[in-house]
Amino acid sequence: MALKLVFTEYFDITETKMEQHGALNICLNADLPLFIDPFLLFASDKKEYKIQHDKIVNHLISLKEIAKNDGDNANLSLFKFPEIKQNWLGLCKYGNNGKGLGVKFAKDIISAFNGFYSNFGSETVSDTSHIEKLTLVGSGVGKDFISDFSTNLMFEFLLEYTESFAKKYLKPHQIKTFSVRCVYDEDLMVWKPREFELPFFFLEENGDFILLTPMDILTKDEAFICHNDLVGNFRNVANSIGNYSLRESVNAYFQKTLPVLPKKKDIELAVSKTINQYPEILDYYIRKKELEKDKSKKISSEKLDQLKNELIKTLGDFTKIILEESEFFNTRPTSYDESLKRANYLKDVIENNDGYRVFYHKGKAIASEDTVQRIFRLTWYATPFDVNAEVNNGRGPADYKISHGSGDSTIVEFKLAKSTSLKKNLENQTVIYKKASKSINDIKVILCYTKFEIGKVNRILKKIDQEGAENIVIIDASPKVSASVAG
């Protein structure tokens, strides 16, 4: 059975074609942790991107007018936006179903437009308005809003972008016509459908369409304009204020609010209080970021390259090594036996089939716990078992819960040996999850990058009387010397 985990594999095309179109080679098994950053639209030299940025901002300004005019009586449906799952970007480690922007977001943003952000769209310090502004202080509007809202407003553009790729590079049987609601009628205030010829899951019955996204508008983690960056650079922002009187007032107020030996939380509180006293600071911060727009493209490119090396390439390389043909797709023992077998299978691939190589880039160890978790999920391709990632059983999220019916479940936890909390986690974590979920089995998988880390783990296991335990799988991902070199 061939594993077709990424777009190029599924559609049997070269990565060069994706690169020529500028599109991200998405994973079709789980979301990639990437997001659209609207500041990259603003910072781009491409006219079509600038048009999209203006479209996003103008729609938000129109919503602000509705919020101010109608207040609590505003039509909430106008302020709700579903997650567009077909782009396969977001936080889901398996699948692509997210929450989107629902009722809570609608109420929060209506409140924000009638409060702290009532001047949105009428700024004079910055070149233009930026939707990221709404996430800079505690308005209840979270950073997830940036990508979800932007994707919804760019939906028609992304569909056109994907359609042009499909018509140029894909075969007729790989394309299907879909009617998609993506065109906003400003007079009727409704979203209207439009037809597109799009790539789809042609190997599946009633397969959904797939949406491609340009790489140069994507970022990993934080947007270029964000709360953490504002807090971290607050003194520089304050000192950049051209108005002497305002600059002195801001610095004096901020300094007065800080304790003698401030901790991180003290600084965050002082920043928040100062912004509430002098809200125009946000516009000076945004103006400072506008002047650094060339830096935004470089940072985004570096983050994307990092993710491509650490995750996308790792997933592809791993499947090429051994998962393309696997006996595990046909086995059906208990959840514990199956989970243990697959954990040991992962260990064998990494230790004995050069699988360790995918965890290194230019000699540097790159895989995080998240990377190993995603790779482990691939070993459950086409399985009858229910595999839930980060299931919350009342005591915080476990990495995986594998189950087959209500009476057969196993929890699998992944850790890096270098973790400073490894001993504590080995002693307590899975036990807590078991009690909360009534799971009868548990397995711990520990990835070691050096012989020293292997020794550290063995010492910990000996100390807690778990040495040689069947359900603790230690994976040696240290670089191996080939037989020819050793000889």
Q: 95-128: per-residue pLDDT in tens?
A: 556 677 889 889 989 998 998 888 898 888 888 9
Residues 44 and 183 placed together within one structural domain of the fold: yes
Q: Residue 282 — very low, low, confident or very high, per pLDDT cuts 50/70/90? A: very high
Q: Are residues 214 and 331 in the same domain?
A: no
pLDDT tens, 145-163?
Answer: 888 899 999 999 999 999 9
On whether both 47 and 180 belong to a single domain, the answer is: yes
The chain-wide mean pLDDT, for the chain, equals 81
Give the residue among 370, 319, 365, 366 at the shortest CA–CA distance from 346.
Answer: 319
Q: For residue 310, is pLDDT > 70?
A: no
Domain edge (last residue) among 165, 200, 225? 225
Percent of the chain beyond pLDDT 90?
A: 36
**Residue 316: inside a domain, yes or no?**
no
The answer on pLDDT for 431 being more than 60 is no
Q: Which two tokens stand for residue 327?
A: 């006996």
pLDDT score at 101: 84
Does 338 fall in a domain?
yes
pLDDT score of 91 more than 90: no
211: in domain: yes
Do residues 209 and 78 both lie within one domain? yes
Position 208 scores a pLDDT of 93
In a domain, 263, yes or no: no
Q: Return the pLDDT at 395.
A: 41
Q: What is the pLDDT of residue 205?
A: 84
Residue 216 pLDDT more than 50? yes
Residues 51, 196, single domain; the answer is yes
Same domain, 83 and 202: yes
Domain identity same for 197 and 331: no
Higher pLDDT, 41 or 30: 41
Sequence letter at residue 56: I
Q: Are residues 194 and 341 in the same domain?
A: no
Is the model's pLDDT at 61 over the cut of 60? yes
Give 337 or 431, the one with higher predicted confidence: 337
313, part of any domain = no
Work out the pLDDT band at 23, boundaries 50, 70, 90.
Answer: very high
Tally of domains in the chain: 2
Write down which residue in 186, 202, 225 finishes a domain: 225
Contacts of 17 (CB under 8 A, 6+ apart): 8, 169
pTM for the predicted model, two decimal places? 0.68
Domain span including residue 454: 326-486
Asked whether residue 288 is domain-assigned, the answer is no
218 plus 348 within the same structural domain:
no
Residue 470's domain is classified under what CATH number? Answer: 3.40.580
Predicted confidence at residue 288, as pLDDT, reads 92
In a domain, 445, yes or no: yes
